[in-house]
């Protein structure tokens, strides 16, 4: 079991169509295990490396500021900042 700091979510928009959350990760911080309830788009605000812990094994994902990517409802994982500096991204969930 890891004893990691928690990433800090800040809800920016929440309505009947979207949820927009800013996520800030100190070095080594994690979201905690979760299952996505909606399809989503991630918009990185910083460059960095994420460790994605999944039930199928771990993988790494490189973030590039301004280069968005999409994920699907039902994804289960724990997201960890594997970078030596703060990592920030915006998550847009599509309801």
CATH of the domain at 66: 2.60.120.10
pTM of the model: 0.94
Residue 89 lies in a domain: yes
Domain carrying residue 63: 8-94
Residue 2 lies in a domain: no
Residue 56 lies in a domain: yes
DSSP codes, the chain: ----PBPEEEEEEESSSEEEEEEEE-TT-B--SEE-SSEEEEEESS-EEEEEEETTEEEEEEE-TT--EEE-TT-EEEEEE-SSS-EEEEEEEE-
Q: For each of the chain's 95 residues, which pLDDT tens digit applies?
A: 578 999 999 999 999 999 999 999 999 999 999 999 999 999 999 999 999 999 999 999 999 999 999 999 999 999 999 999 999 999 999 99
Q: What is the pLDDT of residue 1?
A: 59
Residue 36 lies in a domain: yes
Residue 1 lies in a domain: no
Residue 15 lies in a domain: yes
Domain count, the chain: 1
Residue 35 lies in a domain: yes
């Amino acid at each position: 079991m890891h004893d990691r700091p928690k990433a800090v979510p800040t809800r920016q928009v929440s309505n009947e169509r979207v949820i927009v959350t800013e996520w800030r990760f100190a070095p080594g911080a994690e979201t905690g295990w979760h299952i996505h309830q909606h399809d989503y788009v991630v918009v990185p605000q910083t460059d960095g490396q994420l460790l994605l812990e999944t039930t199928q094994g771990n993988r790494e994902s490189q973030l590039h500021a301004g280069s968005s990517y999409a994920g699907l409802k039902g994804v289960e994982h724990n997201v960890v900042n594997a970078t030596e500096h703060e990592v920030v991204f915006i998550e847009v969930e599509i309801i």
